[in-house]
Amino acid sequence: MMRWTAGQFLPAMIRAQGVVIGYSGRLRRSEPSKSASRLHLVSQVCVADTRAVNWHLIAIPGVLALVFSWCLAAVVLATGPGLRRDRLLALLLVVEGTAWATGSGFLYLAQSPETARYLQAIFVGMLLMMPACSLAFAGTLPTPLMAPLRSQAVLALMALLTIAAEILYISHPDRLIGAIVPAWYATWDADLPALTVGVFNFVGLVGLVTLAGALSAWRRSPRGSWERRQARAFTVAFCAHDLGMFCALVLPGHVFPPPPSGNLSDLFVILGSNFTSIAFVLLLSYGILKVQLFDVDLRIKRGIRRSTVAAVFVASFLIVEQLVQSYFAGQFGVLLGAMAAGLMLFFLGHIRHFAERFANGVMPDVSPTPEYVAYRKLEVYRAAFEGLYADAVVSDKERATLDRLRIKLAIQPADALAIEAEVRSERELANFAQPGPATATGA
């Protein structure tokens, strides 16, 4: 049974009270049948309000996908050196997060079929943009396999095709927007037309292209370089994302029916796409921030230390509260639990010492010393130069980006030049070590 909160219960009572007050003067003089019908009207108002505020757990992953994707997009734009790769990744995150939030998040919380239809319309519009966004970002990966996607002509063609698809969609929305029908896992869902299911399948297949690009970039990156570390993070994130999206978007309509079908496969499709998007964002976050923020490890270690201290206080409160409720009067559980948490303040020094040792055990190589911070700043600059020097050429625009990053990190010009010379020599040795066609054939 659903629990009512004050914000949910009061509006329903106010509406019901309005109906009762409006008819209270007439109920005494009306016939019993009319009185019964009016009381039935009051009950219908309460039932309608109950349905309006009904929450479904299946909507939470979609909403979280929106929050995580938008937050990571903002972080990428705020901390990145201003590369096209960062802008395209942020665009992909915003489009994908908005798609799953509207199509499998807020749609399940809609109070009416009209609202659900509007949310589905936004979802379909975002879905049509996802293939071009994914392919455009795949073109920024440092591998010859994705070189055709870096062409201005190909990018312009994808943009024109996307605009044409959106125009056709706006002109004939009924071809892609399905009927809003009741679902067994939520109040509403969309019965997607066959054309929209085909778009689903296409988006899932496009994910295999980005996966191939990430694998190729990781395989070609020099061993031991920051470029290889970031490529590895990208590969892990895209493996989880693209394989999950392939299963959740390509299999519906071929292996099992798309939702809402009344089968358990509906949950696989809905939660598979949402949890895959969330995992993609979380895996990608550390890989990006590790390169773009010199103090991300320090922030994570600081967060572990503070979370450990907070966890001790929360654990002491919950343990005492549960023990009191189990063996003594239940009404004193919260009070004694709060007193136990307050007594922990006398042991705050020991708790902080324990949290410090725990954080050092989890991240032993991270320490907030000036030497470590300076080392991490040099690593961030090195990673940025390795990414820009992937094609062995640094343009004037890229040079300006590196100069801004060097000033932001407070790196001396001589140190930056030394890092660039080291990366160039390592890249030359790596290219020299790769066997050419003649060597491969034994000539």
The string of pLDDT tens digits covering residues 274-327 is 888 888 888 877 666 665 554 445 555 556 666 777 777 777 777 776 676 666
102-144 pLDDT, tens digit each: 998 899 988 888 999 999 999 999 999 999 999 998 888 878 8
Task: Say yes or no: 180 and 312 in one domain.
Answer: no
Let me know if residue 354 belongs to a domain: yes
Task: Say yes or no: 105 and 235 in one domain.
Answer: yes
Query: What per-residue confidence (pLDDT) applies to 171?
Result: 93
Q: Which residues of 344-360 are buried (b: 16+ CB within 10 A; e: fewer)?
A: beeeeeebeeebeeebe
Rounded CA gap, 219 and 146, in Å? Answer: 14
Task: Say yes or no: 197 and 75 in one domain.
Answer: yes
Task: Say yes or no: 169 and 243 in one domain.
Answer: yes
Alpha carbon distances (Å) from 110 to 4, 60, 104, 232, 405:
18, 13, 11, 40, 45
Rounded CA gap, 59 and 110, in Å? Answer: 10
Let me know if residue 328 belongs to a domain: yes
Quick one: pLDDT band at residue 39, thresholds 50, 70, 90? Answer: very low
Among 321, 341, 362, where does a domain finish? 362
Let me know if residue 105 belongs to a domain: yes
365-395 pLDDT, tens digit each: 666 677 777 777 777 777 777 766 766 777 7
Let me know if residue 47 belongs to a domain: no
Question: What number of other Cβ atoms are within 10 A of residue 393's Cβ?
Answer: 8
Contact 423, 402 (CB under 8 A): no
- Ranking 96-100, 311-315, 345-349, 435-439 by mean pLDDT, the lowest is 435-439
Among 362, 392, 407, where does a domain finish? 362
- pLDDT(2) > 50: no
Helix axes 84-104, 60-79, angle to 10 degrees: 170
**Can you give the CATH number for the domain in which 217 is found?**
1.20.1070
Let me know if residue 7 belongs to a domain: no
- Domains: count for the chain: 3
Task: Say yes or no: 280 and 412 in one domain.
Answer: no
pLDDT more than 90, % of the chain: 13
Query: What per-residue confidence (pLDDT) applies to 74?
Result: 86
Task: Say yes or no: 199 and 122 in one domain.
Answer: yes
Task: Say yes or no: 422 and 306 in one domain.
Answer: no
Task: Say yes or no: 350 and 241 in one domain.
Answer: no
Higher-confidence residue: 370 or 162? 162
Task: Say yes or no: 380 and 406 in one domain.
Answer: yes
What pTM was computed for the model? Answer: 0.62
Query: What per-residue confidence (pLDDT) applies to 127?
Result: 93
197-214 pLDDT, tens digit each: 889 889 988 988 888 888
User: Which segment, 14-23, 171-180, 248-257, is predicted with the most confidence on average?
Assistant: 171-180
Let me know if residue 162 belongs to a domain: yes
Contact 119, 103 (CB under 8 A): yes
Of the candidates 25, 24, 50, 54, the residue with the CA atom closest to the CA atom of residue 39: 24
- pLDDT(420) > 70: yes
Query: What per-residue confidence (pLDDT) applies to 12?
Result: 41
**Beta carbons within 8 Å of 103's beta carbon, 6+ residues apart:** 62, 119, 120, 123, 124, 126, 127, 190
Query: What per-residue confidence (pLDDT) applies to 394?
Result: 77
Q: Which two tokens stand for residue 215?
A: 């694998």
Mean pLDDT calculated for residue range 33-43: 40
Query: What per-residue confidence (pLDDT) applies to 130?
Result: 93
Of the candidates 70, 12, 69, 72, the residue with the CA atom closest to the CA atom of residue 46: 12
Query: What per-residue confidence (pLDDT) applies to 131?
Result: 93
Task: Say yes or no: 93 and 216 in one domain.
Answer: yes
Let me know if residue 179 belongs to a domain: yes
Query: What per-residue confidence (pLDDT) applies to 45?
Result: 37
Task: Say yes or no: 142 and 265 in one domain.
Answer: yes
Let me know if residue 20 belongs to a domain: no
Contact 213, 234 (CB under 8 A): no
Of the candidates 228, 231, 225, the residue with the CA atom closest to the CA atom of residue 379: 225
Instruction: Tell me which residue range forms the domain holding 87.
Output: 57-292
* Tally of residues, the chain: 443
Among 292, 308, 331, where does a domain finish? 292
Higher-confidence residue: 30 or 248? 248
Quick one: pLDDT band at residue 168, thresholds 50, 70, 90? Answer: very high
Mean pLDDT calculated for residue range 396-416: 79
Helix (H, G, I), strand (E, B) or coil at 230: helix
Task: Say yes or no: 302 and 406 in one domain.
Answer: no
Contact 192, 258 (CB under 8 A): yes
Q: For residue 62, which amino acid is it? A: G
Query: What per-residue confidence (pLDDT) applies to 300?
Result: 55
Rounded CA gap, 60 and 124, in Å? Answer: 20
Query: What per-residue confidence (pLDDT) applies to 44?
Result: 44
